[in-house]
Amino acid sequence: MGSIVLDKVQKKFGDVEVIPPLDLEINDGEFVVFVGPSGCGKSTLLRMIAGLEDLTAGKVNIDDKDVTEVSPAKRGLSMVFQSYALYPHMTVRKNIAFPMRMAKIPQDVQDAKIEAAAKSLNLADYLDRKPGQLSGGQRQRVAIGRAIVREPSAFLFDEPLSNLDAALRVGMRLEIMELHTKLKTTMIYVTHDQVEAMTMADKIVVLQAGVIEQVGSPLELYHTPRNKFVAGFIGSPKMNLIEGEEAAKHDATTIGIRPEHVSVSKTEGTWKGTVGVAEHLGSDTFIHVHNTGLDTGEGDLFTVRISGDIAVSHGDTVYLTPDMDQLHRFDAQGLRIA
Amino acid sequence: MANRTIPRLLQTPAVLLLLFWMIVPLAMTLFYSFIRYVLNSTVRPEWTTPSWSNWRGFGNYEFVMNSKDFILAIKNSLFIVGSILTLTVVLGVMIAVLINRSFPGRGVVRVLLISPFFVMPAVNAVLWINMLLDPVLGLQGIAISAINDMAAGMQDAPLVGWFFNLWPVLEPISFRATQTSAIAVIMMVTWQWTPFAVLIFMTSLQSEDQQQKEAAVLDGASRWSQFRFLTLPHLGRPMAIVVMIQAIFHLSLYAEIEIVSRGNGNKNLPYLIGEFTNNNIGAASATGIFAVILANIVAIFLLRAVGKTLME
């Protein structure tokens, strides 16, 4: 069990409204990712669910019970922090045992649970070490182990991979996803990394300035972003947003085309431009095209992503042809035109 | 090789200076402790100049160990240092945790808390023994006689008179007496040094990881458990520092003991050295060597104890 319903929750720090009243429903067993730029209130929202921040108004319901006034420990949620928040002077074993020790669970049950958690997280060899003697990835696994043994109704992850290097991050991402398939427990995951959001989530919640911009599956957000912000935020490299004359041709204030939905030719195409930087990744090439004559906003930059390699260099003239089926149109309010 | 010689040569003066700084006094103390050396003797004038011909072997040590105040001095040294350390650490942690929360006027309170540390030891002792602890003129005497007067005045009152008749007449305690002068020293030094402990613990508390505390809250830890399992171990190292530094200072307490009772019933090793120095330099030096040994034992013992109990 672990369905969480936020009912008009609101958070103010003094006079500053960080999160205007907000509704959200999270179903049992779902992997939900809160994503948004820094300072959008996603961590605050998570901490409000955990009970670490008081609500200014509204209600938090877990499994149809109002837990707004319930203490964090009694909400049955486990949290994994960005800084791991391990207890530095306790061994890994004692760290994992800590929540059970606080709940006064019998020692033999504790030992069994620690063994099980250590085995599933590959920590068996490190149980008697202290956190200071572990690598970042191992520490994060200990933090996850400490969260698992409580058998919570939901896991809360607060940017758990931000302190890891890129290679470890990919590995831990997979481990957390596997954990989710195995435990089938609700997980709420906060990140500013849209790649993590896209790869892990069943449901993504895009936040900006405390407001939910869109809720949906990763592919829904990719294919039908509800507004300009979501369109620009989801997808890497960013979607090209074009305004002015070219947009008017399509009866829109703004049109958007993703870099991967544009083909490049050296001889002919819809739009013409000069190559700035070309980033060759081997599997893909990102080409930054300038002087397209399109109103792409500040910097006059149009990004194209093509698979494989293409022989272009700085200053070359290229022609761009967008895939019209993949064109996104937005009205004056920035909302999607169906 | 050549490029190492020059740096070593350049270091030599500093190393030599430090070496002399430590070795010379220690060597002289050792030397004096093995010879007969007194400042004034009409019977044996040759003892008044230090010389190898006055060799006494372990005679001075034997003399010191057999003197009537030696065991008292060692016991008292340990009693005073142990009590002060316990009290300052316990009070220090309590006050530091208390003022670590935010409340109006916190800055002022912190400055006021630190201020006892700026009082000179002798002034501290004079103030305490004369103005606070004096059984007649001090705050203690005034307070106790006021309580006694009040109880006496109420004895004839209707209804509640019987209750005050049950009260005993309180006797003020003289802190210059043989049995209590060590207590007076402990009180005044604790008052003076608690701020030092508070200061160190407070800075340490401010570096405590807040996410760890939040994790503990979610793990179901009560306030007490958070303190016991997170804050106290976090304070382990600063506690070791406070204990070490204070042990060094308080093993050499002198002014307070002199002012409270002139050593009456309350001597420690430095005070004993001071008494011997009136004439018998040989015995004073031997006591000094005992003090060095005691300080080392205390240091090793304390470091072990503090380290083990807190690091879990």
Q: Between A and B, how many residue pairs show a Cβ–Cβ distance under 8 A?
A: 64
Tokens matching residue B216 = 């503990």
The answer as to whether A180 is a domain residue is: yes
Are A85 and B225 an interchain contact pair (Cβ–Cβ within 8 Å)? no
For residue A49, the chain B residue with the least C-alpha distance is B218
Q: Are strands A16-26 and A302-307 parallel, antiparallel or unpaired?
A: unpaired
Alpha helix positions (H), B262-312? 269-277, 281-310
Same domain, A44 and A157: yes
pLDDT for the residue numbered A185 = 92
Q: Minimal Cα–Cα distance from A208 to chain B, Å?
A: 25
Q: What is the DSSP letter of B102?
A: -
Same domain, A102 and A195: yes
Side by side, which strands form the sheet with A254-257? A240-243, A254-257, A328-330
For residue A155, the chain B residue with the least C-alpha distance is B218
Same domain, A68 and A214: yes
In the block, residue with structure tokens 């420690």: B268
Domain enclosing residue B298, as ranges: 68-121+181-310
Q: How many CB atoms lie within 10 A of CB B138?
A: 19
The answer as to whether B40 is a domain residue is: no
Same domain, A293 and A165: no
Say if residues A58 and A51 touch (Cβ distance below 8 Å).
Answer: no
Side by side, which strands form the sheet with A65-66? A16-26, A4-13, A57-62, A65-66
The answer as to whether A338 is a domain residue is: no
Averages of pLDDT over each 10 residues, chain A, 338 residues: 88 90 92 91 91 91 90 90 91 93 92 91 90 90 91 92 87 90 92 90 92 93 92 89 86 91 88 89 90 82 87 87 90 87
Which CATH number does the domain housing residue A258 bear?
2.40.50.140
Q: Residues 207 to 246 of A: which have CB under 8 A from any B CB? A: none
Tokens matching residue A29 = 């067993």
Q: Confidence band (pLDDT; 50, 70, 90) for B82?
A: very high
pLDDT for the residue numbered A25 = 92
Of the candidates B220, B230, B311, which has its C-beta nearest A99's C-beta?
Answer: B220
Q: For A284, phi and psi rounded to 5 degrees?
A: -130, 160
Rounded CA separation A232/A226 (Å): 11
Q: Minimal Cα–Cα distance from B49 to chain A, Å?
A: 58
How long a stretch of residues is chain B? 312
Are B312 and A90 an interchain contact pair (Cβ–Cβ within 8 Å)? yes
The answer as to whether B214 is a domain residue is: yes
Are A77 and B312 an interchain contact pair (Cβ–Cβ within 8 Å)? no
Same domain, A43 and A145: yes
The answer as to whether B43 is a domain residue is: no
Query: Three-class SS string for chain A?
Result: CCCEEEEEEEEEECCEEEEEEEEEEECCCCEEEEECCCCCCHHHHHHHHHCCCCCCEEEEEECCEECCCCCHHHHCEEEECCCCCCCCCCCHHHHHHHHHHHCCCCHHHHHHHHHHHHHHCCCHHHCCCCHHHCCHHHHHHHHHHHHHCCCCCEEEEECCCCCCCHHHHHHHHHHHHHHHHHHCCEEEEEECCHHHHHHHCCEEEEEECCEEEEEECHHHHHHCCCEHHHHHHCCCCCCEEEECHHHHCCCCCEEEECHHHEEEECCCCCEEEEEEEEEECCCEEEEEEECCCCECCCCCCEEEEEECCCCCCCCCEEEEEECHHHCEEECCCCEECC
Which 3 state secondary structure label does DSSP give B280?
A: strand
Rounded CA separation A327/A257 (Å): 5
Tokens matching residue A204 = 């993504």
Rounded CA separation A261/A30 (Å): 31
Same domain, A293 and A167: no
For residue A157, the chain B residue with the least C-alpha distance is B215
Are A89 and B236 an interchain contact pair (Cβ–Cβ within 8 Å)? yes
Q: Are strands A57-62 and A211-216 parallel, antiparallel or unpaired?
A: unpaired
In the block, residue with structure tokens 């380290």: B307
The answer as to whether B57 is a domain residue is: no
Say which residue, B264 or A41, is predicted with more confidence: A41
The answer as to whether B54 is a domain residue is: no
Domain edge (last residue) among A228, A247, A269: A228
Say if residues A290 and A277 touch (Cβ distance below 8 Å).
Answer: no
Domain edge (last residue) among A205, A228, A251: A228
Q: Is A10 exposed, middle or buried (0-12, 13-18, 19+ CB in 10 A)?
A: middle
The answer as to whether B157 is a domain residue is: no
Domain enclosing residue A271, as ranges: 237-330
Which CATH number does the domain housing residue A23 bear?
3.40.50.300
- Partners of residue B220 in chain A, C-beta under 8 Å: 73-74, 99, 102-103
Rounded CA separation A255/A270 (Å): 15
pLDDT for the residue numbered B265 = 78
Mean pLDDT of chain B: 88
Total domains in chain A come to 2
Total domains in chain B come to 1
pLDDT for the residue numbered A308 = 82
For residue A80, the chain B residue with the least C-alpha distance is B215
pLDDT > 90? residue B155: no
The answer as to whether A24 is a domain residue is: yes
Rounded CA separation A58/A205 (Å): 19
Say if residues A142 and A90 touch (Cβ distance below 8 Å).
Answer: no
Rounded CA separation A86/B215 (Å): 8
Name residues whose C-beta falls within 8 Å of residue A250's C-beta, 6 or more positions apart in sequence: A327, A329
Same domain, A275 and A168: no
Same domain, A55 and A180: yes
Please tell me the pTM assigned to this model: 0.79
The answer as to whether A337 is a domain residue is: no
pLDDT > 70? residue B312: no
Rounded CA separation B181/B129 (Å): 10
Q: What is the DSSP letter of B174?
A: P
Amino acid at site A321 = T
- A319 — contact with chain B (CB < 8 Å)? no
Q: What is the mean pLDDT of residues B133-146?
A: 90
Name residues whose C-beta falls within 8 Å of residue B36's C-beta, 6 or more positions apart in sequence: B44, B47, B54, B55, B56, B59, B60, B282
Chain B contact residues (CB < 8 Å to A): 209, 211-212, 214-222, 225, 229-230, 233-234, 236, 311-312
Rounded CA separation A292/A274 (Å): 7
The answer as to whether B35 is a domain residue is: no
Nearest alpha carbon to residue B264 among B188, B198, B178: B178
Q: Which long-range contacts (CB under 8 A, 24 or more apart) does B221-227 make?
A: B221/A73, B221/A98, B221/A102, B222/A102, B225/A102, B227/B97
Q: Minimal Cα–Cα distance from B237 to chain A, Å?
A: 11
Strand-pairing partners, residue A330, are A254, A336
Name residues whose C-beta falls within 8 Å of residue A73's C-beta, 6 or more positions apart in sequence: A102, B217, B218, B219, B220, B221
Domain edge (last residue) among A178, A207, A228: A228
For residue B223, the chain A residue with the least C-alpha distance is A102
Say if residues A229 and A212 touch (Cβ distance below 8 Å).
Answer: no
Rounded CA separation A241/B98 (Å): 56
Name residues whose C-beta falls within 8 Å of residue B192's C-beta, 6 or more positions apart in sequence: B116, B117, B119, B121, B124
Same domain, A210 and A269: no
Per-residue pLDDT of B205-241, as tens digits, reads 998 888 999 999 999 899 999 999 999 989 988 888 8
Rounded CA separation B159/A122 (Å): 77
Which CATH number does the domain housing residue B282 bear?
1.10.3720.10
The answer as to whether B262 is a domain residue is: yes
Which 3 state secondary structure label does DSSP give B101?
A: coil
